Each structure stands twice: as C-alpha cells, then as structure tokens.
Amino acid sequence: MEIKEVFRKKNVKETLEILEHYQEQCKIIAGGTDIIIQLREGIEKSSVLVDISNIEELKVVKETEKWIEIGSGVTFTEIAREFTLHDKFSALVEAAASVGSPQIRNAATIGGNICNASPAADFIPPLLALNAVVVLERKNAIREMCLEEFIIDKEKVALKADELLTKIRFKKLQTNQGLGFSKLGFRKALAISKISTAVFLELEENNKCKGTRIATGALGRHGLRERRVEEFLQEKALDPSTVHQGGRKLQKEIEKRLYGRPSLAFKKEAVIGIFHKAVDKAFKSCKIEGGI
C-alpha cells in the first residue's frame, strides 16, 4: 500500500473538491472493511484516500411522502436499527443483520456495499428488488441513476472518478406490496453469501401477481434481476404450484449461468429453497399495512 495523502472531510462539498482535484488517484473510504484489504493486497493502488465516515449529511435516513432515502454513509447496524419497527421492511433488517459480524456492521456502509459491487454483496439484491435509485454528486452537478444500471459488472459501477454516491432511494411499500429476503451462507455469522434472493411482490385480489421484481446475489457476476422468473409470475395467482414452477424457472437460469462451475451442483438445488423462503416472506410482508 502506497498512500501518500489522506483527507478527512466533514461535508460533501469539500469531499467533491478533493475528488475533482485528484480524480483517479483518489479513492473514497468509509467503513474501510473492503478497501483496506484491497489496499493491503495491492489490488487497489490509489495513492490518496478521502474519508467520508464523519460526514453527518451522509448518515441520514429520511422518509418523504412516497420515498425512503438512505444516506450512503449509513452503516448496517444503523439500517437494522432504523427499520426494526417497520415490520413491512423486515427484509431490510434481515439483509442488514446478515452482513459480516457486529464489528463489520458497525463500520460497513450501504454506499460501500453498492460501490464495491461484490457478486455476493448482501444488500444489493433487496435494493434491486425495490428498484432503488442512486444519487451521484460531483462538484456543481448531481445525477440519478437506477441501481440496476449503476452496477456494470463484477466489482464495477458507473461511478466517475470525481463523483460521490450520496443517497439511495426507493419507494415506500404500499399495503398490497411486500419484500422478502433469504440468504444462504456456510455458517451463521461472518458468512459470505453463497446464494441470496430478494423478492418484491405486488398482489391484487385472489393473490394475483400484479407486479414482481426478483433479484439474486452470488449467482452471477454481480447482483442481478431475474427477469425470466418475473415474467413467469406476472399475472399469475401466487399458489404453491406457481411458486414451485417459479423456482424451477430460476433453477434453469442458474444452470445456464453457472454452467461448468463446481458450485452449480449444490447451488441449483439450494436456490429453490432460498427462492421459496423469500417469496413466502414477501407474501407475508404484503399483508402488513403499508405506507410506512
């Protein structure tokens, strides 16, 4: 690691000035739980670091009439605490609480999880299922982008050298809408996700699927939407047989995507169980009163 200069800024404005000045030489550090390892292993070669973990304006969770907005510097401990009372969003609490260990969750941030874009990032699938939008700021400019477009490839996002991810927002869940999350790791704590699935459902009368968004993690080069499965569930009544067939569709997708990988043998079986659990939780979340 060859770091020549470090900055610690208290607001976004000053951080953006540093980013503009140093461009590619500079890397943003927040919780540090990914980048410090990358620096020490020589994978990350930036010579300037700018710390954003002290910027209060990035640590805010805000509700407006229709949206929930999470600052990029909010840690997973804070997310789990923030949404604990929102039963409808228990999937977010579950996803946040499944990250690393207490020590990691106390430091690691939602912005870092997104920008690092690990294939196994725990929080990306639920945000994809919520159709989240990322807010990117640079000096004197701001743009928004759909999270799905923001993640370009494994560990690669559409963040320019002088930009900072400042917020993530998604629409509040209405009464007939719900979110479910399920993760499979090799052990209970400190487990890197082997499969994770997040399901968003919007149900009409008789449990007919009006809308659905399904996203998986650790089943491809990065967290992604499973559109074939979504199309299959669309307009169908959500009964055990439909869910079963949906699971088979997802299995087919995984067989194609992970062809030749040694992990395919177990993942193609396990994904069905994880999918069922996530759908079940999303279904329960639909029945809780919404608007929060």
Partner 1 sequence: MKVIQLKVNGGVYKVDIEEDMRLLDVLRDKLRLTGTKEGCGEGECGACTVIMDGVSVNACMVMAFQAEGKEIITIEGIQRKDELHPIQRAFLEEGAVQCGFCTPGMILSAKALLDRNPSPSRKEIREGISGNLCRCTGYNQIITSVEKASQYLRREEEEK
Binding pattern for the stretch 180-219 against partner 1, x by CB under 8 A and - elsewhere: --------xxx-----------------------------
43 belongs to the binding site for partner 1 (CB under 8 A): no
CB nearer partner 1, residue 29 or residue 121: 29
Binders in 58-97 for partner 1, by CB under 8 A: 77
Applying CB under 8 A, among 12, 28, 39, 74 the residue interacting with partner 1 is: 39
Binding pattern for the stretch 138-177 against partner 1, x by CB under 8 A and - elsewhere: ----------------------------------------
Q: Which of 55-65 are b and which e, b meaning 16 or more Cβ less than 10 Å from the residue's Cβ? A: beebbeeeeee
Output the smallest distance, CB 164 to partner 1, in A. 17
The CB-based long-range contact list for 231-238 (8 Å cut-off, 24+ gap) reads: 233/209, 234/209, 235/208, 235/209, 235/210, 236/208, 236/209, 237/206, 237/207, 237/208, 237/209, 238/201, 238/203, 238/207, 238/208, 238/209, 238/279, 238/283
Output the smallest distance, CB 69 to partner 1, in A. 23
Applying CB under 8 A, among 1, 141, 142, 158 the residue interacting with partner 1 is: 1
Q: Which stretch binds partner 1 (CB under 8 A): 102-110, 120-128, 162-170, 252-260?
A: 102-110
116 belongs to the binding site for partner 1 (CB under 8 A): no
56 belongs to the binding site for partner 1 (CB under 8 A): no
103 belongs to the binding site for partner 1 (CB under 8 A): yes
Is the separation of the CB atoms in 226 and 154 below 8 Å? no
* Strand, coil or helix: 47: coil
Is the separation of the CB atoms in 100 and 33 below 8 Å? yes
**Edge-to-edge strand list for the sheet holding 133-138:** 61-63, 67-71, 164-171, 133-138, 141-146
Residue that has been written with the tokens 């993760």 in this structure: 183
Output the smallest distance, CB 143 to partner 1, in A. 28
Residue spans of alpha helices (H) in the chain? 12-22, 35-40, 76-83, 90-97, 102-107, 110-116, 124-129, 147-150, 227-233, 240-257, 264-286
Output the smallest distance, CB 4 to partner 1, in A. 6
8 belongs to the binding site for partner 1 (CB under 8 A): yes
CB nearer partner 1, residue 76 or residue 170: 76
Residue numbers at the binding site for partner 1 (CB under 8 A):
1-6, 8, 29, 31-33, 36-37, 39-40, 49, 51, 53, 77, 100-104, 106-107, 188-190
